[in-house]
Chain A
Amino acid sequence: MELIFGGAYQGKLDYATEKYNTMDIYHCRQNVSDPDFNRAIIDALEEFVYACVKDGVDPVAYLKEKDDVISTRDAVIVKDISLGLTPSNPVMREWRRQNSLTMKYLAQRADTVTRVWCGLTQKVK
Chain B
Amino acid sequence: MEFLYVGGNNNGMRERAEEVAKLSGDVFEVPLCYISTLSPQDYEESTTQNMREKHYASRGFKIEKCDSNICSLLDRVDTRSIFIIDSITSLLRNEMFGTDEAGGRYGESGGDSFDVLATGRVIEDLQTFAQNVRSTLYIGHYIFSGTGRRMDNSGVLDRSRDHVEYFRKGLALVERGLASRCDRVEEFSYGMRYRFK
Chain A residues at the B interface, C-beta cutoff of 8 Å: 6-11, 27, 29-31, 44, 50, 80-85, 87, 92, 95-96, 117-120, 122
Determine if B185 is an interface residue (Cβ-Cβ < 8 Å). Answer: yes
- Highest count of chain A CB atoms <10 Å: which of B6, B144, B172, B197: B144
Specify which of A10, A29, A30 is in contact with B172 (CB 8 Å cutoff). Answer: A10
Residues of chain B lying within 8 A (CB to CB) of residue A8:
144-145, 148, 168-169, 172
Tell whether, in the assembled complex, residue B144 and residue A11 are in contact, meaning their CB atoms are under 8 Å apart: no
- Rounded to whole Å, the gap between the CB of A43 and the closest CB of chain B is 10
The complex places the Cα of A97 from the Cα of B92 at a distance, in Å, of 31
CB contacts under 8 Å to A, within B144-190, are: 144-148, 150, 153, 155, 168-169, 172-173, 175-176, 178-180, 185, 187
- Rounded to whole Å, the gap between the CB of B80 and the closest CB of chain A is 28
Residues of chain A lying within 8 A (CB to CB) of residue B146:
81, 83-85
Tell whether, in the assembled complex, residue B153 and residue A30 are in contact, meaning their CB atoms are under 8 Å apart: yes
* Contacts A8-B168, A8-B172, A9-B168 given; does A118 touch B196 at CB 8 Å: yes
The complex places the Cα of A29 from the Cα of B154 at a distance, in Å, of 8
**10 pairs from A and B in contact (CB 8 Å cutoff):** A7-B142, A8-B145, A9-B173, A30-B150, A30-B153, A96-B147, A117-B179, A117-B196, A119-B180, A120-B179
The complex places the Cα of A17 from the Cα of B173 at a distance, in Å, of 18
Tell whether, in the assembled complex, residue B168 and residue A122 are in contact, meaning their CB atoms are under 8 Å apart: no
The complex places the Cα of A92 from the Cα of B179 at a distance, in Å, of 31
Residues of chain B lying within 8 A (CB to CB) of residue A30:
150, 153
Determine if B194 is an interface residue (Cβ-Cβ < 8 Å). Answer: yes
Residues of chain A lying within 8 A (CB to CB) of residue B180:
119
